[in-house]
C-alpha cells in the first residue's frame, strides 16, 4: 500500500511552481536533501521528462508521475506528493508536444538494481489505480495538510 510508505515531510499541499523543471527542483530537491536520492536525481528527472513525458489528463484532471532510473535513488523507495495551487504545464505522456496543466504530482524515487523495471511498474500501477478516482483527485486538491493527503490515499487504497 502506498499510504503506508508516505512521509509527511515529503508531501507538499499548496505548492507553487512556474515550470516542471521548478517542480523537479523543489520536490526532487527535497528527496535529495532528505537523503533518499543522489545528487544526480533532479537532473535525471529533467532529462527523462524531456524524452518520456509524464503528464496525464485523467478526465480533465492534470496529474504527473515523474521518476528516474534506479541508479539515481539510494536504498529506500519513497514517493513525494505535491499539490499545486495553479496548474504547471507538463507534456502529456505518449506525445511530443501536447501539454496538460498538472496540479497533482506523484514523484517516485524507486530503489533497486540497475536495469530492473519491475518495481517501477508496481508503483505506477498502484498510483494509476488511485488517480482513476476523480473524486479523490478533487479531495487531494482541497486537502490542507500532509496528514489529510495520506488519510485520503489510505481510504482509497482500502477500497481497491
Q: 24: which strand partners?
A: none
pTM, to two decimals? 0.95
pLDDT(138) > 80: yes
Pick the CATH number of 3-157 from 2.60.40.10, 1.20.1260.10, 3.40.930.10, 3.10.129.10: 3.40.930.10
CA distance linking residue 80 with residue 25, whole number of Å = 13
pLDDT digits (tens, 9 = 90+) for 1-49: 899 999 999 999 999 999 999 999 999 999 999 999 999 999 999 999 9
Q: 58: which strand partners?
A: 61
pLDDT digits (tens, 9 = 90+) for 66-105: 999 999 999 899 999 999 999 999 999 999 999 999 999 9
The residue assigned the cell 544526480 is 40
Domain locations in the chain as residue ranges: 3-157
Task: Kindly provide the residue ranges of all beta strands, DSSP E only, lying in 8-160, ordered along the sequence.
Answer: 11-15, 55-58, 61-64, 78-91, 99-109
What H or E segment, with its residue span, contains residue 21?
helix 20-23
Assigned C-alpha cell, 26: 523543489
- Give how far the C-alpha of residue 38 lies from the chain's centroid of Cα atoms, to the nearest Å: 17
Amino acid at each position: 500500500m502506498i499510504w503506508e510508505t508516505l512521509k509527511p515531510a515529503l508531501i507538499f499541499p499548496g505548492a507553487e511552481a512556474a515550470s516542471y523543471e521548478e517542480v523537479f527542483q523543489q520536490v526532487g530537491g527535497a528527496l535529495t536533501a532528505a537523503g533518499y536520492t543522489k545528487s544526480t536525481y533532479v537532473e535525471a528527472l529533467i532529462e527523462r521528462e524531456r524524452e518520456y513525458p509524464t503528464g496525464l489528463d485523467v478526465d480533465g484532471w492534470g496529474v504527473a508521475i515523474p521518476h528516474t532510473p534506479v541508479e539515481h535513488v539510494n536504498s529506500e523507495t519513497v514517493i513525494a506528493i505535491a499539490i499545486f495551487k495553479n496548474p504547471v504545464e507538463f507534456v502529456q505522456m505518449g506525445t511530443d508536444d501536447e501539454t496538460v496543466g498538472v496540479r497533482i504530482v506523484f514523484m517516485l524515487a524507486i530503489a533497486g538494481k540497475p536495469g530492473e523495471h519491475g518495481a517501477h511498474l508496481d508503483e505506477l500501477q498502484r498510483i494509476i489505480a488511485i488517480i482513476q478516482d476523480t473524486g479523490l483527485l478533487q479531495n487531494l486538491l482541497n486537502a490542507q495538510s500532509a496528514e489529510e493527503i495520506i488519510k485520503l490515499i489510505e481510504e482509497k487504497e482500502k477500497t481497491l
